[in-house]
Structure 1
Amino acid sequence: MATLMTEAGIPEAVDPLDVSRPELYRDDVWQAPFRELRARGGIYHCENSGFGPYWSIATYKPIVQVESLPDIFSSEAGGITIADIQEGDIKMPMFIAMDRPKHTDQRRTVAPAFTPSEMVRMSDNIRMRTAEILDSLPVGQEFDWVDSVSIELTTQMLALLFDFPWEERRKLTYWSDWAGDIEIAKDPVRKEERRQILFECAAYFGNLWQGKLGKEPRPDLISMMIHSDAMSHMDQMEFLGNLILLIVGGNDTTRNSMSAYAWGLEQFPDSRAKLEADPGLIGNATQEIIRWQTPLAHMRRTATQDTELDGHKIRAGDKLGLWYLSANRDESIFPDADRIIVDRENARRHLAFGHGIHRCVGARLAELQIGILMEEMAKRRLRANVLRQPERVAACFVHGYKKMAVELTRY
């Protein structure tokens, strides 16, 4: 069994049910410990981890219960990841890590960017850009799907949402990768590096903000913030926090689901054949791929009072990891959950976007982008063949891919 060292240098056994270990995700072997957790009832207190003690909530129903009680299980008290905010850390308030009523007001400000009518307005543009990218890809030659398709499509979308300078849009990917890396919490040197990088991000967006002050309202997110009572007077750190939320939320989720489309269908050729034969399944397959991937593995809540959850005594101040990744493989809700089943009847019940007041505000946009990618691939009768194991993110928060070598063929 592997060992950790305590502060006194005494070896400490690794808890096999500590699902925060980065190698589980790097090596794609997280399924077994979560299966064990669910078999034991789905609620488990991990005493020792790289992030300190925490509760794992690993089955569907208790996660929905916790998410439905935001006054007892707070997003604000300890933040949204199981990495604790430490002395000297940058404090970046963001509405996903706020409780009511402030959460409600700030979320309401950006929500108009993601309404059904906005989705209709944006869909032609998304389709045009997706078509351009697919038509530029080499058929029959190796390339990196993550960089050429997943990152490029999502970064273009973010640039449009923020009215961000087009030629500099890859800065958004760079900032997102630094902001979303939970493992940095364990390394003081990289933490300081992140601080500098995020301040650069804040300064850049500060200039964009200044350029829009006093101008007519526009449909981009910065303009929406400027023209809202809830967000127009944010200090620099709150502005940065909400930007990081929207960048990571808009980037990592969609990008890693787009990569899962290539990787996942490669694993289940019967499902791929069914989808290729019937493009009418694309809407449902979009939900199923998001469920199967679950691009954010967990969200954290902190108990504000002593309470009970399925017979377990939770103390005020306890940290809970809500493992959406595991809930989406809960066999009592999703039979044969480890497989991609493109015509799964209840694929839409997945928890990849969360549940309750913090359900992802941009969920519709993510679904639209992934669905259009699949439609445009189908129109061209293109299939992504993955050539070898992808390189994955080694972390328990963003569940994603760094590189994936593919070759396109036609069917």
Structure 2
Amino acid sequence: MDTTVAADHAKLAEELPLDQIDVSDPALYQQDVWRPYFRRLRRDAPVHYCAESPVGPFWSITKHKDIVDVEVNHRVFSSSSTLGGIVLRDRPADLELPMFIAMDPPKHEAQRKVVQPIVSPENLDNLKDLIRGRIRTTLDSLPIGETFDWVDRVSIELTAQMLATLFDFPFEDRRKLSFWSDASTALPYAGTIVESEEQREEIFRECLGYFMTLWNERVNAEPRPDLISMLAHGEATRTMSPREFLGNILLLIVGGNDTTRNSMSGGVLFLSQNPEEFAKLRARPELVDSMVPEIIRYQTPIAYMRRTALEDAEIGGKTIRKSEKVAMWYISGNRDEDAIEEPDRFLIDRPRPRQHLSFGFGIHRCVGKHLAEMQLKLLWEDILRRGWTIEVLGEPKRVFSSFIHGFTEMRVRISEPR
């Protein structure tokens, strides 16, 4: 990050009137200058109302405890797609995209339960050797001593392979899954992956058509341990509308893609920025167990989740009115000084590394959190086995989004031990 730009934003964050701070601005995350704005809000307005923004008026919940309070109060704070779902930017009513994370009980639990077996401890044990083998093959293919893009060659590739396995999706088409994930979360602007909602809907139709073919194959066969077969045979999901099927497919793609993919890139960046932590890891490889959740905290791949108030409610001394939007900023809660000691330091031996909000909390807690952690652990175990030093060259390119907190490119060079 340019130190002058960082200093300018640190100054601006302190000088702006509180009612002019808009932490939904995607540029803050693309430029990696979001920290001082949340530091100011946590101190001066932990429950903050933004009256005017491109996504409309909304409340920001920025403290760890308050975020947990909103998460667990799903009877008052709804995630239903009929009210706007989980992102601040409202979709047109005719383009509503139902998915189980954007549902309230009891339908949420019923649909979530259908896919839960894919991440059972038994299934994770069955997947471990496959994941380890793919990591080794992928890392074997990397050019030592040359500059390349870690995001594309490692992070996207490994998560696309994992998604193809979970869906039993044609392996040769696995990069379609990454594309559909990016297209579903991208902001529509000229010159980007999705230039308009109309173009996004065209991409969605392609995605739905592909998955409907697979659905029709699985629904007419014996149940199998893949996500499409689970949805096709699940009591709560087998009669879904095509739009709801699409919504759940996109949820599973994004959920299986973004958290792991951006944490795989973030970990490389953080260890490159903190060589003393990398030295600590080399000296004590068992610290990979606490480093993995610390990477996920420090990166916070999903910056926030939205809720909509079903009735008037009080949080942090502020009254949120019925129908108002509420953003639970995990990216701020994970840097809350009152909940996490030295939150702005990356510490691989942090005593309580899982005290983070990156997976959410309560009934909507990420269904695949253990799979994400396992993939990261196996990746770093293999990197340590090779004795590599991975140097990040220049500033990474980041996603233009206030929802997905991640990377589009990160140039690196690998050195082997001498």
- Asked if 1:285 corresponds to 2:286, the answer is no
- Asked if 1:208 corresponds to 2:214, the answer is yes
**1:334 and 1:262 mapped to 2: Cα distance?**
22
What is the match of residue 22 of structure 1?
A: 26
- Asked if 1:392 corresponds to 2:398, the answer is yes
2:242 to 236, 256, 260: 236
**1:105 and 1:354 mapped to 2: Cα distance?**
19
2:59 to 44, 48, 55: 55
8 Å Cα contact 2:20-2:50 kept in structure 1: no
- Asked if 1:136 corresponds to 2:110, the answer is no
Q: Deviations over 1:47-83 (max 9, x none)?
A: 1111010000011000000001101000003200111
Q: Deviations over 1:82-113 (max 9, x none)?
A: 1112244x221100000000001000000010
What is the match of residue 3 of structure 2?
A: none
Identity %: 49
**2:400 and 2:149 mapped to 1: Cα distance?**
19
Unaligned runs of 5+ in 2: 1-7, 10-16
**2:145 and 2:112 mapped to 1: Cα distance?**
45
Aligned positions of 1:10-409 closer than 5 A: 16-76=20-80, 77-88=83-94, 90-182=95-187, 190-409=196-415
Superposition RMSD on alpha carbons, in Å? 1.8
Partner amino acid for 1:61?
Answer: K
Partner amino acid for 2:368?
Answer: G
Partner amino acid for 2:162?
Answer: M
**1:277 and 1:405 mapped to 2: Cα distance?**
26
Partner amino acid for 1:233?
Answer: T
**1:42 and 1:310 mapped to 2: Cα distance?**
7
Shift of 1:317: 0.3
Distance change >3 Å, CA 114–CA 184, structure 1 → 2:
farther
**1:175 and 1:389 mapped to 2: Cα distance?**
26
8 Å Cα contact 2:188-2:197 kept in structure 1: no
3-state secondary structure, aligned to 2:323: coil
8 Å Cα contact 1:181-1:397 kept in structure 2: no
8 Å Cα contact 1:294-1:324 kept in structure 2: yes
8 Å Cα contact 1:150-1:258 kept in structure 2: yes
8 Å Cα contact 1:182-1:396 kept in structure 2: no
Q: TM-score, normalized by length of structure 2?
A: 0.93
Shift of 1:189: 5.1
**1:16 and 1:31 mapped to 2: Cα distance?**
16
Distance change >3 Å, CA 405–CA 14, structure 1 → 2:
farther
Residues paired across the two proteins, number: 399
Q: TM-score, normalized by length of structure 1?
A: 0.94
8 Å Cα contact 1:292-1:340 kept in structure 2: yes
**2:286 and 2:55 mapped to 1: Cα distance?**
44
**2:302 and 2:335 mapped to 1: Cα distance?**
14
